[in-house]
Each structure stands twice: as C-alpha cells, then as structure tokens.
Structure 1
Amino acid sequence: MNEEFKNQLRKLALQKVDQITQSLKEETRLKYGHAIRDFFNQFIEDETVFQQLYHAYKKRTSFDLHRKHITLSYTYEDTSHTIAFLDKRFSLDETTFVQLLSNTIEITREVLPLGSIVELDPAYFKPDKENTSPSKVVITGRFIAPQGYHSYFPYVGVVYPVGEVKIGSQIYFTTPLIKKVIHQGYTDEMEDAFVFLMKQEFIVEKNMNSIEFSNQDMKKLQQEMKEKKKVGES
C-alpha cells in the first residue's frame, strides 16, 4: 500500500469518525467531540493502537499503552468505555466505542488483491475432519454482502489448487482468519480506487461492518451453517 493511498484511507477514516461523532447526543458531542477528534487525529497512522484497544475491549481488560511518546489509558466500567491521553479524555457507550474502533480498523487496514493466495487458520476452516494443516485459498472476490445481513465478508475464495469444483464450494472469510499470505496478487491504481470506493460505500455510506465485528450476524451465520450441516448429514 503506497503512502498516497494510505493518506486517502486515513482521511476517509477521519470522515467516518466525524460522522459517528455528529450522531452522538448533543450533550455527549459537546463534552467529548473535540477529544475524540484529537485522539483519532493523533493515532490514525498507528493501526496497532486500535487493534490493541479492540483486543482489550473484547477481553474486558483495562490497560496503558505508550505510543509516540504519549501514554494513553483505556478503562471500562459497566457499559462506559474511557480513553485518556495527554490532558484529554472521553467516555462512550459500548456501541459507539466499538463502532469507532472497528470502522477505523476496517478503513485503514490493507485489502489483499484478487489472485492472492492465503493460508486459513485450520482452527476455523478444515476441508475435512482428518486435515489439520492450513488450507490454501485463492482470493476471487472482495466485499461480499450476503442477503439478509447488515455486514459483509472482506473475502471470498476457492481452495487451491482445485478451484470451485462444485456450486457453493466458495469460502467466505475475514482478515483474522488469514494465517499467512503465500502470494499477493497484482495491484495498480485501479485496484486502489476500487478498494477506496468499496470502503466508502460499505462503511461510510451504508454503515456496514465486516462480519467479524458483528456478533449478531456471526451468531446468525453460525446457526445457518449448523442447519446446513444437519441437512447434509441427513
């Protein structure tokens, strides 16, 4: 990802931060709006900050983090999540806090191009019960929104080297399931433009998330997979 494209994504992420901030109740917006903007402006180039904050949120663990000669603290109490940095702080409800973190992570992180070959974590995807080694998958599509869901899959692919041997054998997956990138596909300015437009449409305009950040859609998907498995076994 070249620096110019990274800057475009950072600007888009800040646009989404402003959009979320403007949707807050007036009292909360007036109290914390500037601190929220300053925090994301300060750390938008450091994706590690947002990844670690999201991890801490999932683990319900308060922590201190030192980045760019700045100490930031994250604490939670009941449904209130608080970040303090420099001489500033802001507290948000869980929904807003997660939305800010997840959208920033999604917009700024790299999207692998078509033709890339990846290994998926065998703990989550096994082509058969006896196979415990990572499966190689060729990425054949990105930004797939299943009907009936308000979230999307960043990737869809087929098993390497056999491809799509039958209808419905495509594999939908998210970034955390990628264990290793074996080969990165071709990319150019058209690829960057496509990724930017998809992130702008899905995340900024339609307020969609990658399915990894949607507990409701993940539970729905898991239930559908269980039902399909039962039908296949009967």
Structure 2
Amino acid sequence: MMNEDLNTIFTKLLSENDALSDLVTDDLIQFGTYVGGQLDILRECYIAFCQNQESYVYQAFLGAPIEINFHYKEDNVIITRDKQYKITLSLENFLIFMGLIDLVYSKILPLGSVVELDTRLFPDQLREMFSHTPGAKVIITGRKLPVADSIGNYVVDYQAQLWPLGGFPPITPMTITNMMIGKVVARGYEDDYEKSFSQKLKQTQLQEKRLSTSFMTKNEAYAFLKKAGGGD
C-alpha cells in the first residue's frame, strides 16, 4: 500500500479508537504519520518509554527536533516540535497511540527471515547468554498469532527459533515483536503467493484492530506471560 493509503487508514483507526477518538487533532495525526514513515523513531521512543527514561529527542536532518518528555508521576507524555505543535497524552493513551502506528505502518516479514534482536530490553541473564554469540539472531517460523480474547485484542508479531540452532532440542520457540527487531539480516523466500498471504495477514490484523503484544498494559502483559508459561 502507498503511504497515502496508510495515512488514511491510520487516521481512520485513530478516530475509531475508544481511548483516542476525542483526542484526535491535526497535530496528533501529523506526528503519527511522520513517525509511521520512519519507524526507527517509534522503536527508539518505545525503548525509552519502557526504560522509564525522562525523554527522547529525535533530531531530523532538516527542521526542528522532536522532543518527547515522559512524566511518570503526572501520568502523561508531552510531545513538542519547536512552535509547530505540543501534544499531551496519558501514558496509557500514548502506548495505544504507538501501537496504532505499529499496526498500520510495520510490514510483515516472510517466514525464514533472520533478524537480529535489540537486546536493550532483555533481562540481564538473557543479554549475557547472547553476549557469547555474534549478535542475538533468530529465524522467524510463525507470524501474527492472535492472543486469547480473554487477555485482550492483541497479536504476537512473530514466533521464532534461535539461529542457527533452529528447533534443536531442548530449545523452545520464542515470541518476538516488531519493537524487538533491531535489524533484518536476511529476508525469507518471497513469491506472489507469499506476498498475497502476508497481505491477508495484514488486512486481518487491521480489520480486527489487534495491536502487537508490545503495547499491552502491565496487567495484560502479566496475564499473557502467565498463560504462555503454562499458568492458569
């Protein structure tokens, strides 16, 4: 889809979202579509948010910087760009907003793609495990797996195996999200049939408005991880 089409879809989803519909402004749309065209900004902003950083600043090659300030005690995020705009959202609404950008603008990788994960959000033990390998690489083996509706309207972006070990026992598949992918090392095989199937996956996710599990609330994430770990 062309960027113009994606921008239209994004604007529509914003206006239909229960939490954000009353907060939609031209400035919010402008910021969202700008970030949607440069998804590295979204990932860096998401990481800053998850690490409880005070702010994230993006300096464009041309124009004024975009500054995003996180006020955790006040429960809000303030987005500014010089005198162009100032946007204020609650932390939860900002999480939903990021999720909608990811939903609309992130592309689906083909099966068999090898990606290198960004380890900044990994627990120390997991980061240490990958410190002895040339990058935290995994191979994608599954895509867009819906989460149980009892937890929330979400989707697991990818299922993956450690590369180059694959399904070598006792290694079990892991779930990863777009926000965890630092770099695509090699894309999997693609033909017209695969592209058509990927497009259907994308259309289904858009129609069902399922955000990535990256954008769950803490309670939803806890329930998801408990269920994934075999808990009741």
Matched with 2:208 is 206
Local SS of the residue matching 1:201: helix
Local SS of the residue matching 1:149: coil
* 2:16 matches 1:19: yes
| CA distance in 2: counterparts of 1:56 and 1:160, whole angstroms | 27
| CA distance in 1: counterparts of 2:183 and 2:30, whole angstroms | 34
Q: Contact 2:111/2:188 (CA < 8 Å) preserved in 1?
A: yes
Matched with 1:141 is 142
Identity of aligned residues (%): 18
* 2:72 matches 1:75: no
| CA distance in 2: counterparts of 1:23 and 1:121, whole angstroms | 29
Greater Rg, structure 1 or structure 2? 1
Matched ranges for 1:127-206 at <5 A: 132-133=132-133, 137-147=138-148, 148-150=150-152, 151-158=154-161, 164=167, 169-178=172-181, 181-202=184-205, 204-206=206-208
| CA distance in 2: counterparts of 1:136 and 1:56, whole angstroms | 22
> Which of 207, 217, 226 pairs up with 1:223?
226
Q: CA deviation at 1:159?
A: 5.3
Q: Contact 1:5/1:192 (CA < 8 Å) preserved in 2?
A: no
Q: CA deviation at 1:100?
A: 1.0
Q: Contact 2:110/2:198 (CA < 8 Å) preserved in 1?
A: no
> Which of 27, 38, 47 pairs up with 2:30?
38
Change (3 A) 1:142 1:64: closer
Local SS of the residue matching 2:48: helix
Change (3 A) 1:20 1:182: same
Matched ranges for 1:49-60 at <5 A: 49-58=41-50, 59-60=52-53
Q: CA deviation at 1:106?
A: 3.8
Matched with 1:101 is 98
- CA offset digits 1:66-125 (Å, max 9, x no partner): 324133232244112221224322212222111111221343233220122345678679
Structure 2 unaligned runs (5+)?
A: none
Change (3 A) 1:175 1:189: same
| RMSD over equivalenced CA pairs, Å | 3.8
Change (3 A) 1:10 1:159: same
Structure 1 unaligned runs (5+)?
A: 229-234
Matched with 2:114 is 117
Change (3 A) 1:98 1:5: same
Matched with 1:232 is none
Matched with 2:54 is 61
- Pairs aligned (count): 217
Q: CA deviation at 1:36?
A: 1.2
| CA distance in 2: counterparts of 1:76 and 1:179, whole angstroms | 23
Q: Which moved more, 1:89-98 or 1:169-178?
A: 169-178
